Amino acid sequence: MPKSATSTDFPILETYLDAIWMEKGLSENTLAAYRRDLQAFARWASLRHQKTTDISRADIENYLAHLLQAKRSPRSAARALSCLRGYYRYLLRSGELREDPTLDLDSPRLGRPLPKTLSETDVDALLKAPNLEDPIGFRDRCMLELLYACGLRVSELTGLTLSQLSLNQGVVRISGKGGKERLVPVGEEALHWLQRYLKEVRPALLGETPSDVLFPSRRAQMMTRQTFWHRIKQHAMTAGIQKSISPHVLRHAFATHLVNHGADLRVVQLLLGHSDLSTTQIYTHVARQRLQSLHAKHHPRG
């Protein structure tokens, strides 16, 4: 197991790191992150003439306050606390300590970051960006239409096969995370593009290659997520969109625009394939933020 140059300064930390490396099979990057957090704490304690085995609950609270005062994010401080919890539980089990100073200690409040999204004007410009004279451009237009119409994950989009699509019923059958299936309505606009694509473009992309892939690459194979990510970046540049954009931003736009137009949150949850409603509730905050900005911009007392 690789060790840092300062690891001999803190032998008890390295004993713990060796133990969790063996027990959990941690990657080198994860192990390095644990080491950085633990050594930073040990250095902080040594400046206060303390050892990590002499720490009280109040000391842990002071350390977290120190991290926040040093402009570390609440998420970073919460990760440091999680690391310390594992360390002190190990010391408790090994008999080095009688009490766990991290017991019942609350994590710093994170506050959920709002997802990046696009305005309806931006989405319209993006959808119109691909060159329809080029079969690849036509395919991309169809993929963007479907992505926005259904709120798919990029892996769900690139992995679609003909058997998952029903033009007659106007739905697409998605196999999402954990193998959970959901039926998502496609919508008239996306259906229009799909019908044209299947008739006019897909046969040309496949040539003589038999395939069930709905959106094949130039080589008549299943497209990678990375390829589509680069394609959507190019189309965003063509559309003059300055914001950072990815396929997932269109998924967020799908959900945000539904909520903005009054869609029930549980319906949005089903369409997105979220197993927990709390994951979907972030879009109520996005909608509220949008309403507040509109009020501030247009109300005479805003």
Considering the candidates 72, 89, 233, 274, report the single residue annotated as catalytic.
274
Phi-psi label, residue 220: left if phi above 0, alpha if psi -120 to 50, beta otherwise: left
Cα 216 off chain centre by: 25
Query: Catalytic: 283?
Result: yes
Q: 137: which 2 tokens?
A: 């451009």
Instruction: Identify the residue whose tokens are 């229009």.
Output: 192
Among 206, 202, 251, residue whose Cα is nearest residue 225: 251
Residue 17 has φ and ψ, to the nearest 5°, of -65, -40
Query: Catalytic: 177?
Result: yes
Considering the candidates 177, 180, 285, 288, report the single residue annotated as catalytic.
177
Instruction: Identify the residue whose tokens are 């992995």.
Output: 159
Q: 227: which 2 tokens?
A: 């390829």
Considering the candidates 79, 153, 231, 257, report the single residue annotated as catalytic.
153
Cα 226 off chain centre by: 15
Considering the candidates 57, 116, 233, 248, report the single residue annotated as catalytic.
248
Query: Catalytic: 75?
Result: no
Rounded Cα–Cα distance for residues 73 and 100 (Å): 25
Considering the candidates 202, 251, 252, 257, report the single residue annotated as catalytic.
251
DSSP 35-72: HHHHHHHHHHHHHTT--GGG--HHHHHHHHHHHHHTT-
Considering the candidates 34, 63, 87, 283, report the single residue annotated as catalytic.
283
In angstroms, the Cα distances linking 267 to 44, 147, 159 are 49, 17, 24
216: which residues sit within 8 A by CB, 6+ positions away? 139, 202, 205, 206, 209, 222, 223
CB of 272 within 8 A of CB of 151? yes
Active-site residues: which are they?
Answer: 153, 177, 248, 251, 274, 283
